[in-house]
Amino acid sequence: EAQVTQNPRYLITVTGKKLTVTCSQNMNHEYMSWYRQDPGLGLRQIYYSMNVEVTDKGDVPEGYKVSRKEKRNFPLILESPSPNQTSLYFCASSGRPVSLYGYTFGSGTRLTVV
Amino acid sequence: KQEVTQIPAALSVPEGENLVLNCSFTDSAIYNLQWFRQDPGKGLTSLLLIQSSQREQTSGRLNASLDKSSGRSTLYIAASQPGDSATYLCAVKEDVAGGTSYGKLTFGQGTILTVHP
């Protein structure tokens, strides 16, 4: 089944403790992206990647890092999480050309930073 | 900067009713527009994808239209059912042309739909 898989689904952590949210897709998509969803603010793009070793900032990149060492994986790294990063996170991927394809989203990771 | 607006913010209808959800966007330089469904606390399920060159797409009881020049899209749901209750999100994929927003999706705030028996 074609899908985007995120782990974990739920995570509670303490301020400052580094964490990684994993994202993997099995569709051989080149384009991957991370979004966060907050009440009243909607979905906003954090980072995206056009291909292996090619990443760039989205609208709200502060406090996050990403890497794209393999085509299928695109982990989101929070080096020193803070309470304002409490949110629902989504990973998404899209086929190429980007102009023609829609997005497939993962099931989401609900992160709470205390 | 692209802005996407969805009206109404919430809608409650009796089962069986036909309904229309509206989406508008400020910049017509888009590749495509995608409608998603989101159940509470869950992920986004893609419903329909309309390319910028298309006028509409249909899937079962759903029909989405796109008027790119006026910056509008509508999602029509026929014969609504309680199982249709969810948040419906509209998102546009921006045209790359010289910009840094390569393939970025810009979302509306969503319409919360409740269909009661």
Cα–Cα distance, B47 to B40 (Å, whole number)? 16
How far is C-alpha B103 from the geometric centre of its chain's CA atoms?
17
Q: Which residues of chain B have pLDDT under 50?
A: 98-101
Nearest to B34 among A35, A99, A102 (CB): A102
Minimum Cα–Cα distance from A50: chain B residue? B102
Nearest to A103 among B41, B105, B108 (CB): B105
Partner residues linked to A24 by β-bridges: A5, A73
pLDDT, tens digit, 9 for 90 and up, residues B28-42: 988 899 999 999 888
Section A51-55 average pLDDT: 90
| pLDDT at res. B103 | 72
| pLDDT at res. A97 | 75
Burial, A5: exposed, middle or buried (Cβ in 10 Å; 0-12, 13-18, 19+)? middle
Spell out a b/e string for B56-94, using b for 16 or more CB atoms within 10 Å of the CB, else e: ebeeeebbbbbebeebebbbebeebeeebbbbbbbbbbb
Section A9-17 average pLDDT: 96
Residues in A closer than 8 angstroms to B102, CB to CB, are 48, 50, 56, 98
- Which two structure tokens, joined as six digits, stand for B75? 């999602």
Residues in A closer than 8 angstroms to B30, CB to CB, are none
| pLDDT at res. B99 | 47
Are B103 and A94 inside 8 Å of each other by CB? Answer: yes
Minimum Cα–Cα distance from A6: chain B residue? B43
Shortest alpha-carbon distance between residue A13 and chain B (Å)? 19
Mutate which of B88, B105, B106, B111 to test chain A, going by most A C-beta atoms within 10 A? B105
Cα–Cα distance, B38 to B111 (Å, whole number)? 10
Cis bond leading into B117, ω under 30°? Answer: no
Shortest alpha-carbon distance between residue A40 and chain B (Å)? 7
Neighbours of B3 (CB within 10 A): 12
User: First-to-last CA distance in chain A?
Assistant: 36
Q: What percent of chain A has pLDDT over 70?
A: 98
Nearest to B107 among A42, A88, A104 (CB): A42
| pLDDT at res. B102 | 62
